[in-house]
Homo-oligomer: A and B are copies of this chain.
């Protein structure tokens, strides 16, 4: 019961994708890693204004477990950990492209309303 907090029986592909992306900061993490290639924990934290350390860690762990990102630990002091996209993470990011464009259009529409 501690595991299996994901992989609910999915109705369709969207379901499966949403499960992996849902989380307040996940799409932004994806974007951040996609833009910079490789980022340390602290860099991600600074790149996502408002994120709490707890959520950042939690999201990163889940995304690693889901095979979206790679976590590289350098045994140094002070510690250094680097995150990067896996191929799956990268392709997910691409798949989010169309959605992002739709959202951008929506933002423009909302702005035009005022």
Contacts and interface: CB of A to CB of B under 8 A. Distances in A.
Copies in the complex: 2
Interface of A: 7, 10-18, 20-22, 27-28, 31, 88, 91-92, 94-107, 110
Nearest to A49: B11
A107 B10 contact: yes
17 contacts: A7-B110, A10-B103, A12-B28, A13-B99, A13-B104, A13-B105, A14-B27, A15-B27, A16-B103, A16-B110, A17-B103, A18-B99, A20-B103, A20-B106, A91-B102, A96-B98, A98-B99
Nearest to A18: B27
Give chain A's interface secondary structure class.
Answer: helix
A103 B28 contact: no
A3 to B, nearest CB: 14
